[in-house]
Structure 1
Amino acid sequence: MKRLHRLLAALSIPCLVTLGLATAARAYAVAPAGGPEALGFSSSRLARIAAWQQSQVDAGAFSGAVAAIARNGKVAYLRAVGFRDRAKTIPLQPDAIFWIASMTKPVTSVAAMMLVEEGKLDLTAPVHRYLPELKDMMVGVETKDPASGKTDLMYEPQKRPMTVEDLLRHTAGLVYGVGGTKVDQLYRSLYGMTGVYRRDKTLADFVSGLAKLPLAHQPGEVWDYGLSVDVLARVIEVASGQPFDQFLEARLFRPLEMVDTGFHVPEAKLSRLVDPPAISGPPDSVMADVTKPTKLFSGGGGLVSTAADYLRFCQMLLNRGELDGVRILSPATVKLMTTNALPSDIRFAGSGIVGPQGGSTWGLGFAVRSDAAWSMVPGSVGSFNWMGTSGTYFWIDPAEQLIALQLIQVAPSMGGPFNRPFRNLTYGAFRVPDQGVPDAAAAPVRIDSDTLAAYAGTYRLGSPSSRDMQVPREFGGLGVDVATENGQLKVVSPIRGMPAAKAGIMAGDIITHLDDAAIQGISLNQAIEKMRGPVNTKVRLRIIRKGQDGPIEVSLVRARIRLQGAADLQVVNKDGHLLIEASGDLPVLDFEKGAAITVVPMSSNEFFVDGGDHTRLAFLRDGAGPMRLVLNPGPWQITGQRIN
């Protein structure tokens, strides 16, 4: 493993391309002859990942990126693009060390489940069994005086104690304190020179300070991202009898040969550390300072790692808890962790990623793709993932035996726009199995100009990949992100240029009625379903706004909402030939933007690309309906419809 890291540090990016593959560790044997193709990928389409990342580096979005993709236990892609430093003077290498931020949480969750398997930790036990100081935490509830409009914070006891399971699934009522509520304001007292969430404090110090604050929600009632996994790290210390960093080193990192993963970067490895993003305030600023040893072993976001190390961690999970003969968890435990753990009536606060809007739920340490119809990213149902605030991101797709991760460093919570293109480009690189090369030269096909002209136009595809669940890229809606808070439907943010923003709806507004029907008590996904509908149809909202006397009535017309990642193809009839190129946000199979390809006819409505991956196409029409375009007809087909 150490030899591998030295090898990767010595190799230039062109050398990596020449060799084709680099192995992450002995679990990843060099791929068979044929490289990525032997693992089901197109080399040319995988190369689009580096090209896209380079375009982001050139645009100043981030200084550099390392991406890794493994399938069937072997590495298909491992490449660094850009620079290690923000000044863009030092080329980035594949063995670069990144602060992985909240990609720490899955590691902490695995550590906790190891203790559950050993009988040292009980998922159903109240947290105060292990941390007695948290037993009497109250729940903060904001109340508003209707006469004065003044908001006060009241306290009520927990209806039931928070459990260890609540910590794993973010239903404990603990938050980060980054919002605008009075409870959030109290949580911000944990940070700074007088707080307890500092690198010179311990997890025990942190928990003692946390015990003086109220919970933001009743345990078990709301999914809200926060400090739960940092508390879980302290629970692990108590249950194991070891400092958290020592437990991870002895029980996870050393057995899995994760040689560059820890809570700080030793001096001998600082030359491989990627400059962290510019961060102005806690909690991120506390965790991102990884150049010196720390006493606060943040289970929520304190680790550094490399692509090679984290691939080993992911491969252990994909192998259902085992790697290279080392058993970390049982298959049953891995299945439990990657299956929905949330009750059906759970409310979601402050997240469009987990919950109905994101087509995902939460297991014990991971977001799990649960609803393809609502998901904004491709992948098999049952895929699980998480990300870090600095832009680090990974997912595991058991159905495809796929692991992919991208390590970048961007400003806090700005990584989302870079995750989706990487995920789309990864699935878009899958080849269609046993795609033969048609022999059209033996019997040339001639098609009349009127028929060719009928095929011209722009086609919108459900997806750029044959390997996902055909994610819908547009729908009729209001263009507003919402969340549930204290049983109310709260506007998180209206989208610029969409109906909600044009109508003056503001962040913080409370939506009480949809078309005269009260929405108090309905689930978030039910509310979203009601807000969506056919384009150009009307919906009435009744909202309550802070500082406004009485409710406000708003009438809106649903507009076409187009999600990032549209896959469009432009078909042009020119001089008796069809020319096709990608015209949306993403390339599609052999087709890219700005590189029109002349397709070869096989019949009056069937064509193929004479080169690349030999994509086949069929133009179909059902009666008087719009023309459809089918790529690679058969079990792996991608279908689109002409939109103009």
Structure 2
Amino acid sequence: MKYLYSIVFIFLLHYTTFSQTLGVGTPESQGMSTQRLQRIDKAVNDYIDKSYLSGVVVLVARNGKIVYHKGLGYDDIETKKAMDKDAVFRIASQTKAITSVAVMMLYEEGKFLLDDPISKYIPSFRNPTVLDKFNPKDSSYTTVPAKREITIRDLLTHTSGISYAGIGTREAIAIYAKNNIPGGVDTPFYTLEDAINRLAKLPLIHNPGEKFTYGLNTDVLGYFVEVMSGMSFDAFLQERIFKPIGMKDTYFYLPESKFSRLAGLYTEDKNKKVMKVTGDYGNYSKKKGTYFSGGGGLVSTVTDYAMFLQMLLNGGKYNGQQLLSPVIINMMIHNQIGDIKLGNKKFGLGFALTTEAEAARLTPSEGTFDWGGAYSTAYWADPKEGIIGMIMTQKIPNSYADIGEKFKVMVYQAITKLN
């Protein structure tokens, strides 16, 4: 309860003070040090020089002003093409926050309640089952009835029991593969209606509400937005979120005129040194795709995503338009999973949340919300200190993702005056 009241106070106190749209300011004008921010350059360039990473884009904003925004290293390590700070990145699971906002916009319109069963709107989810016994030899299984239906809140908090294709539990990976369920990233040639209705018939890994299991929940929510709005999910995001905010470089599938801005994709060799991905892997955003993955399908830039995060810090307002009420955003950035374990963090409606314990471990304030993407992108927004931080590269897998936490430390050590 102490956590709830303290974050309510911080959010309501600070959101009215931020600039309505992102501008550019000096670090000193926002209580930060230019000299100290330059430590980021040295740390990131050290990873690039050691061939841990190829190129990186970093952005720091405070109180509505961008105080640091740079492209470091190379977009192409072979031709030495520099990393452009306006490069387009595969943001993968950073898509989830945007989908969650879309859901909550419809919630504001009185179209549903968070504790409604999803089967009320997508009937194929009626009478869910839970995996009982699994045979790894042929991926056959038995089930038992779930104790209750999946709710929309369960989907927003990854407590439904739905797992992930490709990266989920051993059983789910096998069952989803056998049933041709797309993971949402690099799976352009499906449709939400078909894939989600087939997923709905497969067993849950556990009963709804029992624990946190990262899964295809947000893809289900993308289809839910289509059902509730009568629009394609892609069109809904463009009309209701991207255009009002001014996010001109955020898409599921890029227009051909922007293909050249898509950042190069990298992986690791046997020595964990960076190397280019070969073949067509990662080029899904250049297809004429039909699958709009709410969990991982978008590409974007750090500037576009910073505007989205600033809208949230503004209490739902950006460019003179109120996309969400500050009351609804306040709900989204509060613990929605009770005592369910998630390390030092909790989970709201679409974001991980920094608790008192996590704030004692690392620099972001209690109440900060964050997430990241599989291709090595990450963001956070700190309502108390008015900080937006983003670090984006394109590498999968990435043995040196600790640069993300080091980046957080270097952002906060540059603060010279607390909000």
Give the corresponding residue for 2:192. 203
- Which residue type is aligned with residue 95 of structure 1? D
Give the corresponding residue for 2:44. 53
Could you tell me how far apart the structure 2 residues matched to 1:374 and 1:196 are?
A: 31
Report Cα offsets for 1:311-343 as digits up to 9, x if no partner: 110000001111121101001100000000012
What is the deviation of 1:287?
A: 7.2
Give the corresponding residue for 2:310. 315
What is the deviation of 1:414?
A: 4.8
Report Cα offsets for 1:26-57 as digits up to 9, x if no partner: 922332xxx21111111111011112111111
Could you tell me how far apart the structure 2 residues matched to 1:414 and 1:203 are?
A: 33
Give the helix-richer structure, 1 or 2: 2
Report Cα offsets for 1:271-296 as digits up to 9, x if no partner: 211013449xxxxx987621122100
Structure 1 residues 300-339: aligned runs within 5 Å: 300-339=295-334
Could you tell me how far apart the structure 2 residues matched to 1:137 and 1:413 are?
A: 36
Give the strand-richer structure, 1 or 2: 1
**Compared with structure 1, are the counterparts of its residues 373 and 126 closer, same or farther at alpha carbon in structure 2 (3 Å cutoff)?**
closer
Report Cα offsets for 1:230-268 as digits up to 9, x if no partner: 001000100000000000000000000000001022111
Alignment RMSD (CA, Å): 2.7
Could you tell me how far apart the structure 2 residues matched to 1:413 and 1:121 are?
A: 40
Could you tell me how far apart the structure 2 residues matched to 1:192 and 1:125 are?
A: 25
**Compared with structure 1, are the counterparts of its residues 117 and 414 closer, same or farther at alpha carbon in structure 2 (3 Å cutoff)?**
farther
Residues 181 and 195, structure 2, Cα contact 8 Å, conserved in 1: no
Residues 140 and 155, structure 1, Cα contact 8 Å, conserved in 2: yes
1:124 aligned to 2:109?
no
Give the corresponding residue for 2:30. 39
Equivalent residue for 1:231, pick from 213, 220, 233? 220
1:296 aligned to 2:291?
yes
Q: Rg: which structure is higher?
A: 1
Residues 20 and 317, structure 2, Cα contact 8 Å, conserved in 1: no
Could you tell me how far apart the structure 1 residues matched to 2:140 and 2:234 are?
A: 40
Could you tell me how far apart the structure 1 residues matched to 2:321 and 2:400 are?
A: 33
Question: What is the TM-score with the length of structure 1 in the denominator?
Answer: 0.57
- Which residue type is aligned with residue 141 of structure 1? D
- Which residue type is aligned with residue 27 of structure 1? T
Residues 191 and 197, structure 1, Cα contact 8 Å, conserved in 2: no
Give the corresponding residue for 2:92. 101
What is the deviation of 1:199?
A: 1.4
Question: What is the TM-score with the length of structure 2 in the denominator?
Answer: 0.86
Partner SS for 1:406: strand
**Compared with structure 1, are the counterparts of its residues 398 and 126 closer, same or farther at alpha carbon in structure 2 (3 Å cutoff)?**
same
User: Unaligned stretches of 5+ in structure 1?
Assistant: 1-24, 145-150, 280-284, 349-354, 434-466, 468-635, 637-644
1:175 aligned to 2:163?
yes
1:250 aligned to 2:250?
no
Aligned residues: 386
1:408 aligned to 2:396?
no
Equivalent residue for 2:230, pick from 230, 241, 246? 241
Structure 1 residues 138-217: aligned runs within 5 Å: 138-142=129-133, 153-177=141-165, 178-179=167-168, 181-191=170-180, 198-217=187-206
What is the deviation of 1:373?
A: 5.7
What is the deviation of 1:152?
A: 8.3
Give the corresponding residue for 1:455. none
User: Unaligned stretches of 5+ in structure 2?
Assistant: 1-18, 269-279
- Which residue type is aligned with residue 297 of structure 2? G
Residues 62 and 410, structure 1, Cα contact 8 Å, conserved in 2: yes
**Compared with structure 1, are the counterparts of its residues 137 and 375 closer, same or farther at alpha carbon in structure 2 (3 Å cutoff)?**
farther
What is the deviation of 1:374?
A: 7.4
**Compared with structure 1, are the counterparts of its residues 179 and 386 closer, same or farther at alpha carbon in structure 2 (3 Å cutoff)?**
closer
Equivalent residue for 1:62, pick from 43, 49, 53? 53
Could you tell me how far apart the structure 1 residues matched to 2:118 and 2:218 are?
A: 12
Partner SS for 1:222: coil
Could you tell me how far apart the structure 2 residues matched to 1:292 and 1:269 are?
A: 12
**Compared with structure 1, are the counterparts of its residues 96 and 268 closer, same or farther at alpha carbon in structure 2 (3 Å cutoff)?**
same
What is the deviation of 1:184?
A: 3.2
Residues 52 and 400, structure 2, Cα contact 8 Å, conserved in 1: no
Partner SS for 2:76: coil
Equivalent residue for 1:264, pick from 253, 261, 283? 253
Residues 120 and 240, structure 1, Cα contact 8 Å, conserved in 2: no
Could you tell me how far apart the structure 2 residues matched to 1:378 and 1:123 are?
A: 32
- Which residue type is aligned with residue 254 of structure 1? K
Residues 82 and 88, structure 1, Cα contact 8 Å, conserved in 2: no
Residues 171 and 221, structure 1, Cα contact 8 Å, conserved in 2: yes
Structure 1 residues 319-468: aligned runs within 5 Å: 319-344=314-339, 346=340, 348=341, 355=342, 357=343, 359-372=344-357, 376-412=361-397, 414=399, 416-431=401-416, 433=417
Residues 80 and 93, structure 1, Cα contact 8 Å, conserved in 2: yes
**Compared with structure 1, are the counterparts of its residues 110 and 286 closer, same or farther at alpha carbon in structure 2 (3 Å cutoff)?**
farther
Residues 307 and 405, structure 1, Cα contact 8 Å, conserved in 2: yes
Report Cα offsets for 1:412-460 as digits up to 9, x if no partner: 46564121011111111112x4xxxxxxxxxxxxxxxxxxxxxxxxxxx
**Compared with structure 1, are the counterparts of its residues 400 and 106 closer, same or farther at alpha carbon in structure 2 (3 Å cutoff)?**
same
What is the deviation of 1:179?
A: 4.7
Report Cα offsets for 1:583-613 as digits up to 9, x if no partner: xxxxxxxxxxxxxxxxxxxxxxxxxxxxxxx
Q: Percent identity?
A: 39
Give the corresponding residue for 1:449. none
What is the deviation of 1:196?
A: 12
Give the corresponding residue for 2:14. none
Residues 389 and 414, structure 1, Cα contact 8 Å, conserved in 2: no
What is the deviation of 1:210?
A: 0.9
Larger RCO of the pair (alpha carbons < 8 Å, separation 6+): 2
Could you tell me how far apart the structure 2 residues matched to 1:340 and 1:152 are?
A: 37
Give the corresponding residue for 2:23. 29
Residues 101 and 287, structure 1, Cα contact 8 Å, conserved in 2: no
What is the deviation of 1:376?
A: 3.9
Residues 153 and 182, structure 1, Cα contact 8 Å, conserved in 2: no
**Compared with structure 1, are the counterparts of its residues 153 and 63 closer, same or farther at alpha carbon in structure 2 (3 Å cutoff)?**
same
What is the deviation of 1:372?
A: 2.8
Residues 196 and 206, structure 1, Cα contact 8 Å, conserved in 2: no
Could you tell me how far apart the structure 2 residues matched to 1:273 and 1:141 are?
A: 44
Could you tell me how far apart the structure 2 residues matched to 1:192 and 1:335 are?
A: 34
- Which residue type is aligned with residue 387 of structure 1? G
Give the corresponding residue for 1:569. none
Could you tell me how far apart the structure 2 residues matched to 1:331 and 1:88 are?
A: 47
Give the corresponding residue for 2:70. 79
Could you tell me how far apart the structure 1 residues matched to 2:72 and 2:405 are?
A: 18
Partner SS for 1:400: coil
What is the deviation of 1:189?
A: 2.8
Residues 186 and 283, structure 2, Cα contact 8 Å, conserved in 1: no
Residues 197 and 206, structure 1, Cα contact 8 Å, conserved in 2: no
**Compared with structure 1, are the counterparts of its residues 412 and 242 closer, same or farther at alpha carbon in structure 2 (3 Å cutoff)?**
farther
What is the deviation of 1:214?
A: 0.7
